[in-house]
Amino acid sequence: MAKIGIIGVGKNGEAFAHKLLPLGHEIFLLNRTSQRAYGVMEDLIDGYPHCRNRIHVCEKYDERLLAADMIFVLVKGDYEYSDFKTLTDLRTKGLPRDGYLLNNVAKKLRGYSGYVIVVSNPVDLNAKQIMLKAGFPPNRIFAYGAQLDTWRGKNRIAEILGISLDPATTNRERLSLFFIGEHGDKAFGLWNTATYNGDPLTSLITDETMTDEVDSYVRKRGVDIILKKFDTTIGTVMPLPETVNWLLDHSKNKIMPFSVFDEKEGIFFGQPISKEKDSIISHLPISLNRKEQDNLEAAIHKIKAGETFAAGLYVDKQIRNILYLDDIAHSLDAVAKGLKIMARQDREFSEFNEIKVHLAQNLSEARDILSKTIGGIDVLITDQRLVGQEMDGISFVKSEVVPNHPYTVPVILSGQANEDDLKSAIGPSFGGYLQKPLDIENPGQWKLLWEAFSRNEERIIE
């Protein structure tokens, strides 16, 4: 049995521990707030009192954690999925909140010699950044995702063909089908080489559009579940026992779907692989059909397109961006200074974050800043009345900011408005109302901005 570390004991981390413990493994829980980790440990002990000696909480990256055979990284920032309106490219949504947390994880794991399995989304992008930051060799770090895509793909095709996947049968093993590419949004099945009982799977599928339907099902499955219950936990852990056994077993050459670093492309993406001593062997078919080749190229292109974005978010501190829009030029520098002073007065905030204030004197400058800031603007503070502009501050927020900049929470700065009227005009994304000018001696004004930051972490809309 293995010693397994779990970094990040949220809903998924808890589910991982719950799945692994009955299999005989010893688990080590590490969380940003140790209280949560102790709560999970006590809950597990209630369910498995005979396993209490195999459950441990680590309050830091101590020698027990760093002696584990493998570590699963399930770090997630303080945001929820429950306010998502549409979930296009869901897996990248949290990265602006998670990048600095994962950066810190990578630094703490430097020198670790076990396996690291990245579960924090987007797994393919995060695995590469953690590999680079921690200095891991490519054969020691994997991204968890292709296993889940394959699990879901097998489930769906078995349902279509009327094949029972009851564990009492060996049907799941006899169904040879791998999903590869980018986890989730660009995953696709290798249908050309898929078999059941050794026979080509395509010979059992009478409708030639069925493979496209299953690919679409796999890509959307996680999103569909999140729309209903706001997370995915149960299905996510089902491939976990096989994953752990495969990592531990050095005697077999079993092929598994895993996201690994591809030397040729320079990125992580899912593909069929096996282990041979300390080497990772790809079993990606040499000859892909045209559709599979197009799908793979699309997945590679999308992962590469996200690399600069991901790398820019792996910072020692999380930078929280404020855009201050006012047509009165002389007030801008004073406000920027005041906002930074207010942030420094909040010790908890300043420990993990830096404030960056972007100043705009007109709408053109504001639009440019909104479109170019990596990670997005967290809070927009705008005067209600913008003299000499083509529209006022509220109209700008309603027509351009709210629909086009989902991370941005607007705060209206004015001495001439009624807060209830502003809230009604802007809608649920309205962050608050500040009197003009800003009073940096008033802690209530910083409290409102901090609440706007916090709401922003929960309100991610596209």
Domain ranges of the chain: 3-141, 146-311, 317-458
Q: What is the structure's pLDDT at 179?
A: 97
Q: What is the structure's pLDDT at 459?
A: 37
Q: What is the structure's pLDDT at 417?
A: 67
Nearest to 296 by CA among 158, 131, 180: 180
Return the number of other C-beta atoms located less than 10 Å from residue 200's C-beta: 13
Q: How confident is the model at residue 148 (pLDDT cuts 50, 70, 90)?
A: very high
348 CB-near residues (< 8 Å, 6+ apart): none
Q: How confident is the model at residue 71 (pLDDT cuts 50, 70, 90)?
A: very high
Q: What is the structure's pLDDT at 207?
A: 79
Mean pLDDT computed over 121-135 = 96
Residues 265-295: pLDDT tens digits?
999 999 999 988 778 999 998 889 899 999 9
DSSP string, 22-62: GGT-EEEEE-SSHHHHHHHHHHHHHH-GGGGGGEEE-SSS-
Give the number of residues written for the chain. Answer: 462
Give me the CATH topology for the region 317-458.
Answer: Rossmann fold (3.40.50)
Q: What percent of the chain has pLDDT over 70?
A: 93
pLDDT at 365 over 50: yes
CATH architecture of 146-311: Alpha-Beta Complex (3.90)
Nearest to 428 by CA among 10, 85, 111: 85
Q: What is the structure's pLDDT at 331?
A: 66
Pick the CATH number of 3-141 from 3.40.50.300, 3.40.50.720, 2.120.10.30, 2.40.30.10: 3.40.50.720
Please state the three-class secondary structure of the chain as a single string: CCEEEEECCCHHHHHHHHHHHHHCCEEEEECCCHHHHHHHHHHHHHHCHHHHHHEEECCCCCHHHHCCCEEEECCCCCCCCCCCCCCCCHHHCCHHHHHHHHHHHHHHCCCCCCEEEECCCCHHHHHHHHHHHHCCCHHHEEECCHHHHHHHHHHHHHHHHCCCCCCCCCHHHHEECCEEEECCCEEEECHHHCEECCEEHHHCCCCCCHHHHHHHHHHHHHHHHHHHHCCCCHHHHCCHHHHHHHHHCCCCCCCEEEEEEECCCCEEEEEEEEEECCEEEECCCCCCCHHHHHHHHHHHHHHHHCHHHHHHHCCCCEEEEEEEECCCHHHHHHHHHHHHHHHHHCHHHHHHEEEEEEEECCHHHHHHHHHHCCCCCCEEEEECCCCCCCCCHHHHHHHHHHHHCCCCEEEEECCCCCHHHHHHHHCCCCCEEECCCCCCCCHHHHHHHHHHHHHHHHCCCC
Q: What is the structure's pLDDT at 87?
A: 55
Residues 97-106: pLDDT tens digits?
788 889 999 9
143 vs 128, 295, 348, 395, 403, CA distance in Å? Answer: 9, 19, 32, 44, 33
Q: What is the structure's pLDDT at 462?
A: 27
Residues 405-441: pLDDT tens digits?
877 899 988 766 677 888 888 888 888 888 776 776 7
Mean pLDDT computed over 32-45 = 94
Mean pLDDT computed over 64-84 = 83
pLDDT at 95 over 90: no
Q: How confident is the model at residue 376 (pLDDT cuts 50, 70, 90)?
A: confident
Q: What is the structure's pLDDT at 134?
A: 97
Quickly tell me which residue has 């299953």 as its tokens.
214
Lowest mean pLDDT, pick from 85-99, 119-133, 137-151: 85-99
Return the number of other C-beta atoms located less than 10 Å from residue 69's C-beta: 17
Q: What is the structure's pLDDT at 456?
A: 54
Residues 183-212: pLDDT tens digits?
988 999 999 899 999 999 988 887 778 999
pLDDT at 452 over 90: no
Residues 244-268: pLDDT tens digits?
999 998 766 789 999 999 999 999 9
Q: What is the structure's pLDDT at 60?
A: 93
Q: What is the structure's pLDDT at 457?
A: 44
pLDDT at 46 over 90: yes
199-200 sheet: strands from edge to edge: 175-176, 195-196, 199-200
Residues 294-336: pLDDT tens digits?
999 999 999 999 998 899 889 887 788 999 998 876 667 777 8
What average pLDDT is seen over the chain?
88
